[in-house]
Each structure stands twice: as structure tokens, then as C-alpha cells.
Structure 1
């Protein structure tokens, strides 16, 4: 990848227990490890890089993940009581020693507050063995869609969300996007990947977009038109 890309998945209020969320986080982390080595080791965030590297996360153990999710609950400023309807938060880092290999994961789940949604945000490494390939990236997007069943999810560049109008309430098209419905017709240059019973992934092009190419922007606009029809 030539610029920083991330995977974002978004959904509205959905009440889930810490145990339910922990099982899903475990499934997500185990699945990511099979897709790319850069996503196979995770650490709690710490006061420093050195401190974080002492906080290895065993993602095969949902009970450990549940503890971290409970630790990440929102609390009232006065009294410190838990704000139940805001759900749970978890932040992890992959321990990479250089910026190009660095990845981070943020999960906000179990919120049932009508004004505060849920999301999974995965900052992808700029250099990785597989994630510059559309097939592997789409497998990662499918894993997130199947695990969390969001209202939409996509892999997009941070440049794109600054340059174009980004609103987490609506599908944002850049490299690829998931929507929870069947897409029967798409432009000939795009690839549609059906997810049984869950919807479709639309891959705009085989390689990550550069962000300033008129032809790429034309393709993105055509896919946007299909999704908004």
C-alpha cells in the first residue's frame, strides 16, 4: 500500500454483553492472523512502546478479552459509575517496530445508546505480505462483516475520507465496501463478492486507489451510484 488505509465497520445501537463481544473479538483476531502475519500478534496499549510490549494479548482466550472490554467501559466523571448503555471499548496494537508495519485495532461494541453507535476500526500496515492484494483484503473485510454484521464496512484510505465527504452513517466507497444487501448489478470493472445471507462486497479495482487519479475517481463514483440507487 502506498498510503495509509484502514478498515472501518459501523452499526447503530445494538445491546450485547461483554461475553458476546469477547467471543466476536476472539473470532476476529484469530481470523486476521490467518490472513496476514502483521495481524497475528497483539498487545494492550501502554504508557510507552516498551510498556505495551509487556502486555501481550492471548486472543484465543475470550475471558481475557472480556476483562479488557470491561476495563474499557465508559464511566461518569462524578462517582465513577459505569455508563451501561455506552457498551465496551478495546484498543490493541500489533507491536511492529517500524511505522510501515504498524497496525492498530479499536473496537466499540455493545452500545445501545441511540446517539452513540458501534464500530470496528483497523489501521492497516502500509507494508504487509498480503493486504495490498484485493483477494486478501476482501477476505479481511468479509471476516469483519461476518463477525459483526455491521450496517456497512469498507477499506478506504485516510486521504480519501479527508478529500471527500465521509459520513459514518452511510457507505463510503474507496477501495472496497460491504453492504448488507445483494448487489445484482455493478459496473463491469468492479468485482462483486456475495456473502451468503449477509449481503455483498464490491471491490472497485484490484489495487488500492491512489486517491488523485481521475479514472479511479470515475470508477468510485459509478459504484457510489449503484449503492445509492
Structure 2
């Protein structure tokens, strides 16, 4: 396991991601989930109230606003977001992808990538990843337990993932790095009900239900950072308890 120097001065960057296994869905179904997610996300913070589709190929074509969500526009975006080799036929089993961004400075904006409808049994890539601002007024507002709890809840309700997480990239590295962990435990973690029952966890950890879908686990009320050894010790203790309960296994490796 990687050990990070707590005295490091680089800014800790954060993201939120939801992950789920093979699920064959139509472009219309993906569009409905995306519309639900974008609407719920907009209620979490003003930063998430405006989105523009990233064109394919990137950097070409006109700006396409996605807010307020329009189902025909989103459906066509997912239909065009099918995987394919240049000039080749669509590779439908690898899913449909739509990416979007909002306006802002290089470190004070957000972007989102939504891939659904993949039904490949051994290389499923169904994922929704939200990149979060790292500096500035938006970051100060968004990088809080309350906002990220609502963001993760929105992901759980819209995408019905196996699990979801809001965490820093540095914390992810302490968990073994990208593609190494079965399920990452972050500052905020969502576990689907089908995985099992979350056991009692030590203070200051908070547990919240997400309707009848699953459970949110919030490690700390203040910003979780790898520079705080108490945060890292708490995360490892909670992960150990969840692993004993059989909750930290996944059928697929996460893709960020």
C-alpha cells in the first residue's frame, strides 16, 4: 500500500464516481437517467446548474447546452456516444458515453463523464465520474461533507450503481491506486443494498439510508485529507469492518 507524506504541499484534488456491472439499456433509458442525475446534481450546488456537452471529436462542433435536460437531445447524444473504431461499426456492448463540462477557470470548474448500457461480461465500463474543482470559491463551497453527500446520493438514485464514492485522488492512491481495489472507501461511500447490511461503525462516521436502494457512509464532517493521519487511520478501520461484513468486494474493477 502506498504511503503518502503528510507534509506534502500539493493541493488534494477530489472527484465522485459511481460504478455498476453489465446492464443493457437503450439510449432513451440512459437519457432519462442522465436527466434525473443532472437535475438532482443542480440542486446540490449552483456550480452544477449549467452543463455543455463535450463534442466528439473533442474540440470540434458547437456548444450544446444540456440544462435544463431535454430528453430528445440527451437521447441523441447517447446514441452518438456509442463506441466504435474509426470508420467501423458501432461496438454496442461497450456502452454509450456522454461527457459534459461547465464554464470556469482551469481549477474552479467541473466536468462529468457518463457511460451506461455496457453489457460486456468481462470488461464492463458502466460509470459516472464527476471531476470536482480543486481551488477557488466553487471548490470551497463544493468540497464539504454535506454537498458531496448529496452528490453521491444523486448518483445512487439516478444510476442505481453497485457502489459510489466521493474522495480525493491522493486517498485513492492509499487504497492501492486506480484499478487495484475492489471497492474504494472514500470520504463519502455508497453501497447498494444487495451487497449486504452495513455494520455499526465508530464515531465520527455517519450512516444514512438512500431510500430502499442502499446506504451512505460519511467518514468525517470536516474535509477528509490524507495529510491528517487520524483520517487515514479511521478510513482503514472502517474499511476493515466493512470487509469483515463482506461489503468491499466488487464484480468489476472501477474505471476513472
Using structure 2 for the length normalisation, give the TM-score: 0.81
Q: Which residue of 2 aligns with 1:4?
A: 13
Displacement after TM superposition at 1:59 (Å): 4.2
Looking at structure 1, the residues matched to 234 and 61 of structure 2 have their Cα atoms a distance apart, in angstroms, of 41
Conservation of the 8 A alpha-carbon contact between 1:10 and 1:169 = no
Conservation of the 8 A alpha-carbon contact between 2:175 and 2:181 = no
Displacement after TM superposition at 1:210 (Å): 1.9
Instruction: Work out which of the residue numbers 85, 88, 91 in structure 2 matches 1:83.
Output: 91
Displacement after TM superposition at 1:64 (Å): 0.3
1:21-100 alignment runs, 5 A limit = 21-46=30-55, 47-48=58-59, 54-77=63-86, 80-96=88-104, 98-100=105-107
Instruction: Work out which of the residue numbers 187, 200, 203 in structure 2 matches 1:175.
Output: 187
Q: 1:212 to 1:130 in 2, by over 3 A?
A: closer
Q: Which residue of 2 aligns with 1:223?
A: 238
Unaligned runs of 5+ in 2: 1-10, 245-256
Q: 1:7 to 1:223 in 2, by over 3 A?
A: same
Q: Does 1:108 align with 2:108?
A: no
Length, aligned pairs only:
224
Looking at structure 2, the residues matched to 169 and 150 of structure 1 have their Cα atoms a distance apart, in angstroms, of 17
More divergent stretch after superposition (216-225 vs 122-131): 122-131
Conservation of the 8 A alpha-carbon contact between 1:171 and 1:179 = no
Q: 1:206 to 1:113 in 2, by over 3 A?
A: same
Looking at structure 2, the residues matched to 186 and 85 of structure 1 have their Cα atoms a distance apart, in angstroms, of 39
Poorly superposed stretches of 4+, deviation over 4 Å: none
Secondary structure at 2:15's aligned position in 1?
Answer: strand
Q: Does 1:123 align with 2:131?
A: yes
Using structure 1 for the length normalisation, give the TM-score: 0.90
Q: 1:169 to 1:111 in 2, by over 3 A?
A: farther
Displacement after TM superposition at 1:162 (Å): 2.7
Conservation of the 8 A alpha-carbon contact between 2:16 and 2:166 = yes
Q: 1:28 to 1:14 in 2, by over 3 A?
A: same
Instruction: Please provide the CA RMSD for this pair.
Output: 2.0
Displacement after TM superposition at 1:168 (Å): 7.1
Q: 1:38 to 1:17 in 2, by over 3 A?
A: same
Displacement after TM superposition at 1:133 (Å): 2.3
Unaligned runs of 5+ in 1: none
